[in-house]
Amino acid sequence: MDLMGPKQVESIGGKKYIYVCVDDFSRYTWVEFLREKSDTFEVVKKLILQVQNEKEQHVVRIRSDHGKEFENSKFVDFCADEGISHELSAPITPQQNCVVERKNRTIQEMTHVMIHAKNLPLNFWAETINTAYHIYNRVTLRPGVEMNKDHTDDGTPVNDNWPYNIEHVADGKGVDDACNDSRPIEPANRIQKNHPVDNIIGEIDQGVTIRRKEPMDYRQMVGLIGETCFISKVEPKNIDEARKDEHWINAMQDELL
Point out the domain boundary residue: 111, 139, 167: 139
Residue 195 falls inside a structural domain: no
Which phi-psi region, left, alpha or beta, contains residue 169 (left: φ > 0; alpha: ψ -120 to 50)?
beta
Q: Which of 3, 20, 26, 21 is nearest to 62 (CA)?
A: 21
Q: What pLDDT is recorded for position 209?
A: 56
Would residue 28 count as lying in a domain? yes
204 in a structural domain: no
Neighbours of 107 (CB within 10 A): 22
Question: What average pLDDT score do residues 215-223 get?
Answer: 63
**Last residue in a domain, options 139, 168, 198:** 139
Which of residues 227 and 79 earns the better pLDDT score? 79
- Model pTM score: 0.57
Higher local confidence (pLDDT), 20 or 255? 20
Per-residue pLDDT of 148-189, as tens digits, reads 544 444 444 444 444 444 333 344 444 444 445 455 544 444
The region that residue 56 occupies, defined by phi over 0 for left and psi between -120 and 50 for alpha, beta otherwise, is left
Q: Where in the sequence is the domain holding 229, given as residue range(s)? A: 218-256
**Number of domains, the chain:** 2
